[in-house]
């Protein structure tokens, strides 16, 4: 989608359910706004561009951060550079190609070690904003709340202040939306947690917000290339489009097998190709 990003901040013109959700999201931003500003976790995907636009609408202080994973779609990086030059790019402590041999195994749907190393390191001791939504999965519906406090910081005066404000402005039935978060040192706000996919796209089109071209080319998610969470079909599709990344994974698998052999570890794979076959088709 081409053109300079232009957002109409007059939410009063929206006379539908989306207007209500926009107003509620803005209210959530303003209700919990920290003095040092929010740490906005920005991925460049549709949900993150919505929470960034809503932060602007709310007029709250924030800084946006994009974690470079080294397996990022090139089109996504170009989109962020063009339309979101203010976003701070965070470099990882090691690349995916170094991480796989270090962990002695490929990342899997269960062992998603790559996320904690490459994507979730920022925002310590900050109030983090994410684009997490219940509509994305049943697991998130059951386990993620609009406000999350880290278990160690939840007794702080600041956390108790947020908790009291939230209770005073919401009804009894929604108090379950506050929970402890296992991410130490972070408070988390999920302002669009109750938004549907239609809400997201209606908002983007209503305010003419540019989005990454990959969505118009059949990609429903813009995560790391080769992410197991994309499933077999998704991984095959990604490796077909970005074949260079498949070669890099194969090289990393070779180095992983060498490292496993050095440590005398039993291995069911004899080659990088066997690792790739297992990773895509069987795990």
Q: Which fold has domain 11-217?
A: Rossmann fold (3.40.50)
Of 25, 86, 107, nearest in space to 59 by CA: 25
The answer to whether the beta carbons of residues 193 and 144 sit under 8 Å apart is: yes
Residue whose token pair is 């066997």: 274
Query: What does the pLDDT look like over 93-111, one tens digit per residue?
Result: 999 999 999 999 999 999 9
Q: Looking only at Cα atoms, what is the longest distance across the chain?
A: 67
Residue 92: DSSP 8-state? P
Residue 91: DSSP 8-state? P
* pLDDT at residue number 123: 87
* pLDDT at residue number 148: 64
* pLDDT at residue number 142: 53
Residue 95: DSSP 8-state? -
Q: CA distances (Å), 267 to each of 164, 185, 263, 281, in order?
A: 54, 38, 11, 18
The answer to whether the beta carbons of residues 147 and 27 sit under 8 Å apart is: no
* pLDDT at residue number 145: 56
- Give the phi and the psi of residue 88 in degrees, each rounded to 5: -85, 130
- Provide CATH 3.40.50.620 ranges for the chain: 11-217
Strand partners, 147: 178, 189
Residue 153: DSSP 8-state? T
Q: pLDDT under 50 in the chain at which residues?
A: 1-6, 14, 138-140, 151-157, 159-184
Structure tokens at 93: 């402590």
Of 131, 137, 120, nearest in space to 47 by CA: 131
State the number of CA atoms in the 13 A half-sphere of 268 facing the CB: 9
Sort residue 231 into left (φ over 0), alpha (ψ -120 to 50) or beta: left
Residue 89: DSSP 8-state? E
* pLDDT at residue number 177: 32
Residue 41: DSSP 8-state? E
Q: Three-state DSSP class for 120? A: coil
Interatomic CA distance for residues 51 and 28, integer angstroms: 11
Interatomic CA distance for residues 145 and 163, integer angstroms: 13
Interatomic CA distance for residues 196 and 201, integer angstroms: 9
Record the pTM: 0.80
* pLDDT at residue number 184: 46
Structure tokens at 140: 């998130």
């Amino acid at each position: 989608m081409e053109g300079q990003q232009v957002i109409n901040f007059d939410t009063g013109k929206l006379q539908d359910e989306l207007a209500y959700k926009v107003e509620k999201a803005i209210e959530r931003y303003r209700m919990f706004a920290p003095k040092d500003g929010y740490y906005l976790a920005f991925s460049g995907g549709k949900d993150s561009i919505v929470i960034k636009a809503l932060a602007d609408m709310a007029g709250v202080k924030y800084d946006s951060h994009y974690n470079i994973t080294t397996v990022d779609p090139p089109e996504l990086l170009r989109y962020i550079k063009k339309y979101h030059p203010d976003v701070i790019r965070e470099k990882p402590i090691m690349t995916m190609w170094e991480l796989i041999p270090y962990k002695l195994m490929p990342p899997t749907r269960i062992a998603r070690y790559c996320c904690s190393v490459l994507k979730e390191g920022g925002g310590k001791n900050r109030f983090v904003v994410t684009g997490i939504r219940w509509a994305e999965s049943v697991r998130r519906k059951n386990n993620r709340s609009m406000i999350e406090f880290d278990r160690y910081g939840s007794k702080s005066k600041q956390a108790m202040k947020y908790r009291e404000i939230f209770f005073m402005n919401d009804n009894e039935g929604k108090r379950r939306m506050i929970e402890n978060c296992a991410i130490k040192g972070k408070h988390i706000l999920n302002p669009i947690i109750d938004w549907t996919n239609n809400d997201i796209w209606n908002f983007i089109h209503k305010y003419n917000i540019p989005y990454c071209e990959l969505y118009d080319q059949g990609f429903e998610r813009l995560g790391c290339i080769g992410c197991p969470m994309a499933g077999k079909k998704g991984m095959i599709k990604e490796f077909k489009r970005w074949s260079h990344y498949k070669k890099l994974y194969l090289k990393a698998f070779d180095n992983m097998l060498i490292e496993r052999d050095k440590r005398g570890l039993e291995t069911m794979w004899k080659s990088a190709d066997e690792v790739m076959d297992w990773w895509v088709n069987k795990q």
